[in-house]
Amino acid sequence: MIRPIKAIVKRNLIKLVRDKIRLFSTLFMAGMFLFIFSFVTKSMVSGIAHPMNYLISGIIIMTVFQTALNNSMNILEDIANGFMKEILVAPIKRWQIAIGHVLSSAIVSVVQGLIIVVIGLFMGLSIDLLHGIMMISLMCLVGLTFSSLGLLLASIAKDSTNFQLIITIVSFPLTFLSGAYIPTMAIPKILIPIVYLNPLTYTTSAFRFITLHLEYMSPAELVKSGVAFNINGFIITPLMSAFLVISMGLTFFTFCVNRFNKADFSRVKIFKHGHR
């Protein structure tokens, strides 16, 4: 039961290593955000303890999120080159294929996040062993959560062009209204309700809580630091945010496996060089 999943994971990881352009472009964009936002938004977080941790942690978690979401494109590429047809006729369950793709995307996203962590260490990111382990654990959770969402969207779109459009529509507003690049305190009040509905808001909150070492702060202080949220008197703490991420992960994973089991990939359209 596990061998087919391991084979799919291994195959997707090898495929990524060989696709150096995709790997470089992802790291290049993350690196650009790392350097640009460390200067542009430094004044916004001047009153926060460990400002570099605050900035870099948002970029790390967004790298994991975007990589996990975009790597689901692999399933459409497998259909385009006929690899999926070979898998579907093999003695392997569809749910095993889905889990294999989710795990491989999650692993890749976490590895790329760790690379940003290493770069961040040279820029002033300060973490100890315990908090580092907690960071990696949450990165794994985020990778699994949004890899599941990505595979769900790919199964729904079943078209490379539509998938890229959906990813853009989903990721752009979620990213910039999550507090990762722009602190939630600086977001216009009219957009705050959207911030509270954004699942990435709670992902970023839990991750920043770890990187900023805020375990001993009171709920009111956490709200002031931007890692907890006061919604009409009800405070969502970072611990609640972590449980929300776990709930989202289980929900996305369940939906993506069910959708993948029912998807008809024989009608998938892949666009190459402007032709169908």
DSSP result, 151-215? HHHHHHH-BHHHHHHHHHHHHHHHHHTTTSSS-GGGS-GGGHHHHHH-HHHHHHHHHHHHHTT-T
Mean per-residue pLDDT of the chain: 79
Examine residue 269 and state whether it is found in any structural domain, yes or no: no
Q: Flag whether 259 is in a domain.
A: yes
- Establish if 199 belongs to a structural domain: yes
Give the number of other CB atoms < 10 A from CB of residue 265.
16
Query: What residue has token string 């729904």?
Result: 156
Asked if 142 and 65 count as a contact pair (C-beta separation under 8 A), the reply is yes
Looking at the 3D structure of the chain, how many domains does it have? 1
Tens digit of pLDDT for each residue in 139-169?
Answer: 999 999 999 998 888 888 767 777 788 888 8
CA atoms within 13 A on the CB side of 19: 15
Pick the range with the lowest mean pLDDT from 53-62, 178-187, 212-221, 260-269.
Answer: 260-269
Q: Count CB neighbours of 125 within 10 A.
A: 20
Tokens at 241, concatenated: 């945010």
Domain contains 270:
no
User: Could you list the residue range(s) of the whole structural domain that residue 149 is in?
Assistant: 2-263
Residue 147 within a domain: yes
Indicate if the pLDDT at residue 43 is higher than 60. Answer: no
**What is the tens place of the pLDDT at every residue in 225-250?**
778 898 888 899 988 999 998 998 99
Assigned token pair, 204: 């970023």
The pLDDT > 70 percentage for the chain reads 79
Question: Does 69 map to a domain?
Answer: yes
Q: Looking at the domain assignment, is residue 192 inside a domain?
A: yes
192: which residues sit within 8 A by CB, 6+ positions away?
184
For residues 68 and 139, the answer to whether their CB atoms sit within 8 Å is no
The pLDDT score that the predictor gives to residue 273 is 39
